[in-house]
Amino acid sequence: MSKKNNLSLRKKQHEFDLRREKQEKEKKEKKLQAKKNKMKVDRNDKKKKGGSGFQVGKRKVKTKLTALAKAKAAQAMEKASNDLGCNNTIASIVECGC
């Protein structure tokens, strides 16, 4: 018999594969459970009238611009409008079609 067909080696390899698959399955289940625990509902906030229910524990993205960001945006818009030949007045916008 060749080494490939050795029954004991095939049996050991098969058992090793089964153990590895079992470990991977348990690892996936732990990950899934951790994700579920992360998304738990905050029950500290009382339900308000007209509210949509409980709040989920994720924060909203901050949408307010800082003063620096506002200044940069204004500067960029000014530069872009100067490149196009607009003065950001209603008449100039209508004329150039911005």
The separation between CA 4 and the C-alpha centre of its own chain, rounded to angstroms, equals 48
Q: Residues 79, 81, 86, 87: what is their CA dihedral angle, to the nearest 10 degrees?
A: -60
Query: pLDDT tens, 39-76?
Result: 666 566 555 555 555 666 666 666 677 778 888 888 88
Q: Residue 69: what pLDDT?
A: 80
C-alpha 19/C-alpha 17 separation (Å) is 5
CA 51 to chain centre: 25
Residue 48 is predicted with a pLDDT of 57
For 64, the token pair is 């307010």
